[in-house]
A = this chain, B = another copy of it.
Amino acid sequence: VRTHGGKPALEVGPPGTGLRHERKLRTRAALMRSALELLADRSFGSLSLREVARGAGVVPTAFYRHFESTEELGLALIDESFRTLRAMLREARSEPVPEHVIRRSVEILVSHVHEHRLHFRFIVRERHSGVAALRQAIRAEIRLFTSELATDLRRFPQLGDWSTDDLQMMAGLIVNTMVSTAEAIVDAPIDNPEVEAEIVGDAERQLTLIAVGAAGWRTSPGPGNRAAS
């Protein structure tokens, strides 16, 4: 390599521009899309590199230009999926009318599941299944959501004086309910408004039941036995 004195030799275009790089990104996206579509009715552990490449219209060895292994692709899919989920939560959080918070939250969940069905299906599938690295990544993200929700809950006047522990417990219950709802919608037959309306109705009433429980917490179950009757 010849260097020319102090010349910084930085005529180089910033990485991330240029025709070649742009095409590479497009192929990478095609690989991820291909995997996501194959995962619609299979688990990640049964996915093969060759299938994914085939689905992306690329030769198997080209896969290695983008990912070191299928596991790395799986982690990239988790990142992508949770970017979607975080956008969803931001939207849910911006809703300022407390009386509608339950109805609105479920509505937002449902519309996001519809818009990103493959992402949700992937997450739901891999949450307990197969590859340990994916499972742990997903669990960490969901735990993060739960903590954020606990923080949000504290802003409700009724819950202002709750212990952090109790808020985490309640947030866990809400997240479980939301996750189960998402699972139900993802597993439900596509475009069946009746089944879906029932799922949505159940979710809303379950969350309402939880809210009612929260209102009565510490006072209703009687003194001294608020942790497990």
Contact = CB atoms under 8 A, between A and B. Distances in A.
Contacts of A101: 229
Contact of A45 (B45, B103, B177, B207): B45
Which secondary structure dominates chain A's binding surface? helix
Query: Size class of A's contact patch?
Result: 35 or more
Nearest to A98: B229
The copy count of this chain in the complex is 2
A68 interface: no
Given A45-B46, A130-B129, A202-B169, A209 B208 contact: no
Interface of A: 41-46, 99-103, 106, 124-130, 132, 135, 139, 166, 168-170, 172-173, 176-177, 180, 183, 187, 201-202, 204-217, 220-221, 226-229
For A172, A205, A220, the residue with the greatest tally of chain B CB atoms inside 10 Å of its CB is A205
24 contacts: A43-B43, A43-B45, A43-B129, A43-B130, A100-B229, A106-B228, A125-B128, A128-B183, A129-B129, A135-B187, A169-B202, A173-B210, A208-B228, A208-B229, A209-B210, A209-B213, A211-B213, A212-B216, A212-B217, A212-B221, A215-B216, A215-B220, A216-B216, A216-B220
